[in-house]
């Protein structure tokens, strides 16, 4: 199966205040519809703005132990990761492992918007955090 990076699914941006960014981004983008979702597995609250084929994902930590919290303390509000769509996430992860790429998630987990996601370790990407995601099928 073709497992090239498809399109950009979303850009993840870490923010200290979701309320604040939703107001600012809503105003400048003129995108009125967005979804707010809590993802307990990742200790974050997410606001998703659909932007054409892609999304802008604002992430706010819901706990001091959230990795996003540590990121914000170092970098302030800024781009946290870029997520690419793939068609077969399990297969892609197997391929990356074979190629010696370090992964944060060796198995897919559940992310926002009911997607299967996995992160590649920044040690293998020159420090850039890359997420892979696949839309979940109905029966999963
Ligand atoms: Zn993401």
Q: What is the CATH number of domain 7-134?
A: 3.10.180.10
Q: pLDDT above 70 covers what percent of the chain?
A: 96
Q: Extract the tokens encoding 109.
A: 């987990």
How many whole angstroms from 139 Cα to the centroid of ligand 1? 23
Beta strands in the chain (DSSP E): 8-14, 34-39, 44-51, 54-61, 78-85, 109-110, 115-120, 130-135
Q: What is the mean pLDDT of residues 46-74?
A: 94
Which pLDDT does position 113 carry in this prediction? Answer: 75
> 33 vs 15, which has greater pLDDT?
15
Taking the centre of ligand 1 as the mean of its atom positions, its distance from the CA of residue 83, in whole angstroms, is: 6
* C-alpha 130 chain-centroid distance: 8
14, 19, 21, 25: CA torsion to nearest 10: 130
**Ligand 1 centroid to 68 CA: how many Å?**
11
Q: Which residues, other chains included, contact 31 with Cβ-Cβ below 8 Å and sequence gap of 6+? A: 25, 49, 50, 51
What pLDDT does 33 receive? 87
Q: What's the chain's Rg over C-alpha atoms?
A: 15
Count of alpha carbons within 13 angstroms of residue 44, beta-carbon side:
25
Confidence of residue 41 (pLDDT cuts 50, 70, 90): confident
Residue 31 reports pLDDT greater than 60: yes
Range from 7-16, 54-63, 108-117 carrying the lowest mean pLDDT: 108-117
What tokens were used for 105? 């998630």
Question: How far is ligand 1, taken at its centre, from the CA of residue 58, in Å?
Answer: 9
Ligand 1 centroid, distance to 70 Cα (angstroms): 16
Ligand 1 centre from 32 Cα, in Å?
21
Residue 138: the pLDDT is 59
The pTM (predicted TM-score) of the whole model is 0.89
Q: How much is the pLDDT for 112?
A: 75
* Higher-pLDDT residue of 16, 42: 16
The domain spans of the chain are 7-134
Cα 84 to averaged position of ligand 1 atoms, centre (Å): 9
Residue 85: strand pairing partners: 133
Average pLDDT, the chain: 93
Tell me what pLDDT residue 139 has.
56
């Amino acid at each position: 199966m073709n497992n090239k990076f498809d399109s950009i699914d979303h850009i993840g941006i870490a923010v200290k205040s979701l309320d604040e960014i939703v107001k600012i981004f809503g105003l400048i983008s003129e995108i009125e519809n967005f979804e707010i979702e809590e993802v307990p597995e990742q200790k974050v609250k997410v606001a998703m703005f659909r932007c054409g084929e892609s999304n802008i994902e604002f992430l706010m930590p819901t706990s001091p132990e959230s990795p996003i919290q540590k990121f914000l303390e170092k970098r302030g509000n800024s781009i946290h990761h870029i997520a690419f769509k793939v068609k077969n996430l399990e297969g892609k992860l197997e391929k990356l492992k074979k190629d010696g790429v370090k992964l944060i998630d060796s198995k897919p987990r559940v992310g926002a918007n009911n997607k299967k996601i996995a992160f590649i370790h920044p040690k293998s990407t020159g420090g850039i955090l890359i997420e892979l995601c696949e839309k979940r099928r109905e029966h999963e």
